[in-house]
Structure 1
């Protein structure tokens, strides 16, 4: 087992762990959670030997083999399959020993070396490597492509496949889902469920953690807190503990106040001095319970759009793709013949395997790409807020958040897109502050910021523009769990339209009420939930594998693959579906009728219209309540002073009137809140 006893770990002057202790047992699957900067990745570096503890005792079984994803971007012309095979360090060592034995001309050594090579799985290594590569979303025609020919995200997938290829008793995965789409994520979950070793994973995807882990270790205030159960169970138990601690703290504070009051009152009286002294000692001996210091929550909201065109946009026989590389060439068409309308208030999740055109569709709607053919008609006053997958790369590393906001103001002014936003520098500073960019952070170079801070800056810039259509392409890749939750809440309260591409199933479930499936060169409604989609992915992948075998795979290769599936825990569940995959199985959900979708959209629009005046009145009532509370506090303070008799009577009458008005306002606030809650439930139900 892994044992940490009274560990102190520093990075520079910062103490990440201070006398922390924890035990991790063999075979456990542990989710390591905590806010950004808490020390999760540094704990990984302690486990892999890169860092050493400053104090305390740390032990890990010396015979354990460790595997983890290399963080450097691979730069090699090696074929993808061979690159992944070389992740099996046991096999690599056996191959090197065979080479050395053959060179030594020692027959006995060669016999042992060949036996070790067989035990290391040399006979089925290519099929095992290819199963991992296909499971992570690559096509069969990419198995022998040079590693350097892939983009950065795909090369990081190869690094993940290389780590999974390595036999290990301990597997460390730091944000393994960041470069995966939903189908590859489903495959990885299944692989990890069958992994026989000890797993430590850092992830901000709560559904991934729930599916994979059975223990949660929380880093908070330089301590390690172990919880039995997955992430959702951890949240429940931690909430219970915080409630118990808060209650115990309150009771103790009341008891201490009572003791102190007795001491202050009677310490000077000789007849009570002995009792007072005993209470002083009781107060000193009391083990103090700390107050509950909950981690600061991050929240934000989208401003109410100035208008809601309906429909937002209409697509008529639109084909999506990329322009020709040369003037005489043909464009690359990925999705063709799409005729759809996007209505006000819709919440659309866009599903589909990587490479089928999800991002291309979103980029075209966002005007980053031009439609290959067909017509896109935008509603009058359409204002798009676009979060692109590569949006973080678009930020200027040398510029500060404040400079980004000032440039945004200039761009919107030049385009005539200012919608009454405050544009003074102090106003921009204040707005950045609502996204946790405070003090000197507004003048910190973006290039020195974390991925999460950059993502928050992009969200800040989008919110400032007051969009009525949000196009979000993988917005959560660099966000921690708290910020993801804040985004989910903000999107649910947003009155405009949302089109969302994400592998974060918790966000998709919370935000979207309908799905589009981009598949086989088209877009069709997917009338089911994400569980249905997950089953659909597995069915399609199984059909793809069967078709591949039927197309001419040799019996020997099929047997080797089958042997790997039974001998190794990480047998692949599915290769990612592609545009030429077979049609979905008959059990796939049937699409809703166009009339039903139109009626649903109308219902949502009606609810939105009904909510608008209620929310405005609620805001007015809250302001009135705040004013009355302030006046009440002022009157009570004045009455506790030395007012003249005539003013005391007048202040008393005014206090009674303010109290009555406050009670009436509170009753109205409750009525409005219940009405808004009921209408919101109707919109989502």
Structure 2
């Protein structure tokens, strides 16, 4: 029996190590009475066998256990249970009276006797499993996380829905286009983002959702679009978050496909027309074709291509680009295409998360003008102060786990909030002064019998006063770039520089530019004009096809890439990210560096993947400045930053004693730091004397001329 079990074990598991093999053989050869069935044997050794041969399924292992049991008990294979069969009725009373013989008889009825030596040795089992796991980890190069390593958390939402709303929804009687989400909570892991919050979105209003990075703005949009918060079923929602998947469909057709009613009618028209052309004389077909034409005319189907083309042109798609397949576009252009599809389809609720991130100034101005006439409900998260001053009719301020509504644009919200805080502060200070005055009277005459009635009256008055809380003041955001040593000019010079990707695609010709540590240069231009390419030429990441670049030998760049998130390791903590990039320093130094950019406390120990977009940007700044650069190259650094952090970034740049070249579409930041404006267009770079205001004037004139045509 021992030999048969061993042979079968070798045959089925040839790669089994000797220690595990010895352990399993000990169980198999220890005694058949230890196992009542193949299932019992599977419970004892099944997990080990699965680990040894992961390719074998559960049924295969169970069949093997039955085979082992047959080998162990060949004579009793027919009676798999292995129980003793009583040959006559037993009287329990007589058995109890005869205690001397009861043990053997009772055990034969219901007690399964086991030899302790045959039981599964838990220590040996654990040792064998650990050894197998070590081998598997080594084979697959799996690095197990530390026991206390932070885990990536997920967002959850809960909501109390009234019986009235449930009844209306179940009966299909709720036809209101207003969206009311009451008494809801949103959490991210253990962090509560919103608690007992209410949100009312009136039909046709345009809402700007603002608040500090990491408070849950993007998460709230995802909860709404994912229907984790209850929305009336008849309301269509479109959340522009993911880029269009590329295929052979043209950009224009991709937008037109969003009109499902038009697409259905066109297909029906094609099918019915095919039957008529095939010779069918059914009068119902002619009637149906007439109805289809009437419906197409009703929805102005013939005007749809022109309307889609206008949207695409506004977002930067030329006529040639509109006919190109979507798979030929980069991720940024596919995001623009997703925005175009949303604008064309006109859902009942449109959710936009940082729509200006993918746009140049020209496209932003067009989008602002377009959304001012948006017919349905709009909820947009944006950091662009000009956009928030132009588009929203209302501002939703997310703070302190709740949402406050303010009428008007961001400028009006800022004024109203400031005045509100001043009034609250005055009311709080006045009440505290009044309380102190009354308390002094109480303390002075507490033990004066003649004033006892007055004292009691004052005490009751204090108890009835509403308890006011001090005004919550948001912590100011502070960013700090490193102090650097000065460099004697010239620091950076481009002489007759030209660049082309191939012979047919010339990007620049004859660039003559220079910069020093006092430079505050901002670069503007349409997408595709070569702004990022120019930055890479300056830093030596791309080699010019002609010309010379002269740099000071002490020049040290700090580069903030437009798609910085792609460069971050999402599976490590913020501190771990700096440790990997700059090993060998004390943990306190990494935390101090992160703290210089507002990533402090527990936030510095979170996984990078769990951070908001703005928090990831701050971590990128901290990593960039760890090398102490003396010349900053920032490509769209405001993407994902909140308004307060953008202001802090401008202040930090102005205090920085090194050089700066900035690519940005954020007018507020450009106004704060720009001393020289470079316009990238038509294969060259020119300096514009009038600054950003002059550039905007030229863009508006160009848009007006295009509209006139």
TM-score, normalised by the number of residues in structure 1 = 0.71
Which of residues 574, 577, 592 in structure 2 aligns to 1:401? 574
Q: Which residue of 1 aligns with 2:260?
A: 89
CA gap of 1:478–1:138, structure 2 versus 1, over 3 A, is: same
Distance 2:518 2:245 in 1: 44
2:381 is equivalent to residue 202 of structure 1 = yes
Q: Which residue of 2 aligns with 1:80?
A: 251
CA contact (8 A) 1:216 1:231 kept: yes
Q: How does 1:413-432 map to 2 (within 5 A)?
A: 423-432=585-594
What whole-Å deviation, never above 9, does each CA across 1:120-178 have from its counterpart, x for those lacking one?
23212222222222221123222122212211111111100000111345433222112
Helix, strand or coil: the match of 1:177? helix
Q: Which residue of 1 aligns with 2:229?
A: 52
Q: Which residue of 1 aligns with 2:542?
A: 369
**Cα deviation, residue 501, structure 1:** 0.5
Which of residues 458, 463, 466 in structure 1 aligns to 2:625? 463
CA gap of 1:281–1:542, structure 2 versus 1, over 3 A, is: closer
CA contact (8 A) 1:191 1:573 kept: no
Distance 1:389 1:536 in 2: 25
CA contact (8 A) 1:6 1:18 kept: no
Which of residues 323, 328, 351 in structure 1 aligns to 2:524? 351
CA gap of 1:136–1:365, structure 2 versus 1, over 3 A, is: same
Q: Which residue of 2 aligns with 1:620?
A: none
CA gap of 1:3–1:168, structure 2 versus 1, over 3 A, is: closer
CA contact (8 A) 2:354 2:381 kept: yes
Q: Which residue of 1 aligns with 2:355?
A: 176
CA gap of 1:295–1:440, structure 2 versus 1, over 3 A, is: closer
Q: Which residue of 1 aligns with 2:461?
A: 282
CA gap of 1:479–1:371, structure 2 versus 1, over 3 A, is: same
Which of residues 23, 31, 39 in structure 1 aligns to 2:208? 31
CA contact (8 A) 2:187 2:194 kept: no
CA gap of 1:320–1:257, structure 2 versus 1, over 3 A, is: farther
What whole-Å deviation, never above 9, does each CA across 1:228-262 have from its counterpart, x for those lacking one?
22112211111111111111111111222222333
Distance 1:404 1:482 in 2: 25
Which of residues 451, 455, 473 in structure 1 aligns to 2:635? 473
CA contact (8 A) 2:523 2:663 kept: yes
Distance 1:444 1:37 in 2: 12
CA contact (8 A) 1:338 1:522 kept: yes
What whole-Å deviation, never above 9, does each CA across 1:198-250 have from its counterpart, x for those lacking one?
33221111111112123212122233322222112211111111111111111
**Cα deviation, residue 337, structure 1:** 0.6
Distance 2:215 2:588 in 1: 31
Q: How does 1:313-324 map to 2 (within 5 A)?
A: 313-322=492-501
2:384 is equivalent to residue 211 of structure 1 = no
Q: Work out which of the two has the higher radius of gyration on C-alpha atoms and give 1 or 2.
A: 2
CA contact (8 A) 2:599 2:618 kept: no
Q: How does 1:122-521 map to 2 (within 5 A)?
A: 122-322=301-501, 333-409=506-582, 423-521=585-683
CA contact (8 A) 2:246 2:328 kept: no
Tell which has more relative contact order, 1 or 2 (C-alpha 8 A, sep 6+). 1
Distance 2:319 2:272 in 1: 35
What whole-Å deviation, never above 9, does each CA across 1:83-109 have from its counterpart, x for those lacking one?
111122342344355467768954444
Q: 5+ unaligned residues in a row in structure 2: which ranges? A: 1-176, 276-281
The Cα RMSD (Å) is: 2.8
CA gap of 1:244–1:364, structure 2 versus 1, over 3 A, is: same
CA gap of 1:101–1:296, structure 2 versus 1, over 3 A, is: farther
Distance 1:236 1:254 in 2: 27
What whole-Å deviation, never above 9, does each CA across 1:340-386 have from its counterpart, x for those lacking one?
22133121111111111111111111222222221111124212111
**Cα deviation, residue 457, structure 1:** 1.0
Helix, strand or coil: the match of 1:376? strand
What whole-Å deviation, never above 9, does each CA across 1:399-442 have from its counterpart, x for those lacking one?
332233234435xx9xxxxxxxxx43322222222323334443
CA gap of 1:189–1:517, structure 2 versus 1, over 3 A, is: same
CA contact (8 A) 1:67 1:166 kept: no
Helix, strand or coil: the match of 2:309? helix
CA contact (8 A) 2:225 2:238 kept: no
Helix, strand or coil: the match of 1:178? helix
Q: How does 1:590-601 map to 2 (within 5 A)?
A: none
CA contact (8 A) 2:243 2:337 kept: no
Distance 1:172 1:228 in 2: 19
**Cα deviation, residue 446, structure 1:** 2.3
Helix, strand or coil: the match of 2:245? coil
**Cα deviation, residue 529, structure 1:** 3.2
Q: Which residue of 1 aligns with 2:140?
A: none
